[in-house]
Structure 1
Amino acid sequence: MIPAMPATPLTSHRASVAALRFGRLASMGVVALLILVAGVWASWGSAQYVMLTKGRELGTIEVARCAREVCSGPYTPSSHGSVARDRVVIENTVAVRKGRTYPVVVKPGSTEVVRSGSAGVLYAWVPMGGALLLASVVVAGGLRRTRLAWVLAGSGIALLTAAFVAV
């Protein structure tokens, strides 16, 4: 190479490295954000009924029968305007056992109920806890932001632990 000529190969190498770094950060940032949005979306399906209870039917269910996917039992109202029902259904999970009574919120226009109270709120946000854990791996590996990843992982573990203890 002639000394008077500009060093274009080195400059273009730096530019390509910078472009690749930006592409990696942008794509991993989008992936982490999508994971967190999916966690909120999955949690909000049940959390909206549990957290926004004004005007909703509140009561208790005494679980009488459990099948593969749902448990059912009579509903006893505890809020004004709520109507007693002979049979309502609740999702059959580790949080529901036959013969026990749980505070619930009735989903509008259906016979389906979700758990209410602090246990119901924490249980509704369990998908978000999993999303926080998954996003922490993406943030640590893809974005190389270890402190933020530890915060995300700690938040996810705290949420899942609290839900486990409450349920």
Structure 2
Amino acid sequence: MPATATSSRRTSVVALRFGRLVSMGAVVALVLIAGVWASWGSAQHVMLTKGRERGTVHLTRCAGDVCTGPYTPVSVGSRARRSVVIERTVAVRRGETYDVVVKPGSDDVVRSGPAGVLYAWVPMGGALLLASVVVAGGLRRTRVAWVMAGAGVALLTVTFVAV
């Protein structure tokens, strides 16, 4: 009987390890997908600018969580607007002029250029940091976790410097 108990114990340990691997892998995948999803809402407009209206905005008014100002077109086919709306974040200040891309079918704009691209991917940087904790603790892959955390910190740091 001891051989059966040992065999049963090994089987349960293997099953628990596999279960942990699958469940923590699913959590990591979910966190990373959520990071891409949150980033892509702005990043698609900033990164895929072909055919989109590009120009500059001089922010004249900030209230609540939005800033507004007149839009001056730079790209062919873009039209001037008296007022466009950009989210009020650490990336924009009243009285400054920014390169922007107009979201299709609206008067909403997002920052363009390197600073805009980096700022759009900030949620992904946070997701990498969060996923690294799960990878280290749940999957027990510390090297992979350090690489993920380093990538997240690098993205957030470069964005802070660029913005």
TM range (shorter): over 0.9
Residue 6 of structure 1: how far off its partner (Å): 6.4
Instruction: Name the structure 2 match of 1:104.
Output: 100
Q: What does residue 46 of structure 1 align with?
A: 42
Q: Does 1:93 align with 2:104?
A: no
How far apart, CA to CA, are the structure 2 residues paired with 1:63 and 1:6?
A: 78
Give the counterpart letter for 2:58 in structure 1: E
Which TM-score applies when normalising by structure 2?
Answer: 0.99
Amino acid corresponding to residue 158 of structure 2 in structure 1? A
Identity of aligned residues (%): 76
Secondary structure of 2:84's counterpart equals strand
Q: Is it true that 1:144 corresponds to 2:125 in the alignment? A: no
Q: Which residue of 2 aligns with 1:75?
A: 71
Aligned-CA RMSD value? 0.7
CA distance in 1, matches of 2:42, 2:28: 23
Secondary structure at 1:143 match in 2: coil
CA deviations on 1:45-89 (whole Å, 9 max, x unpaired) are 000000000000000000000011100000000000100000000
Q: Provide the TM-score with structure 1 as the length reference.
A: 0.96
Secondary structure of the residue aligned to 2:78 is coil
**In the alignment, which residue of structure 1 is the partner of 2:130?**
134
- TM alignment of 1:14-53, pairs within 5 A: 14-53=10-49
Q: Deviations over 1:15-55 (max 9, x none)?
A: 00100000001100010011000000000000000000000
One-letter identity of the residue aligned with 1:30? A
Q: CA deviation at 1:98?
A: 0.3
Q: Which has the larger radius of gyration?
A: 1
Report runs of 4+ in structure 1 exceeding 6 Å deviation. none
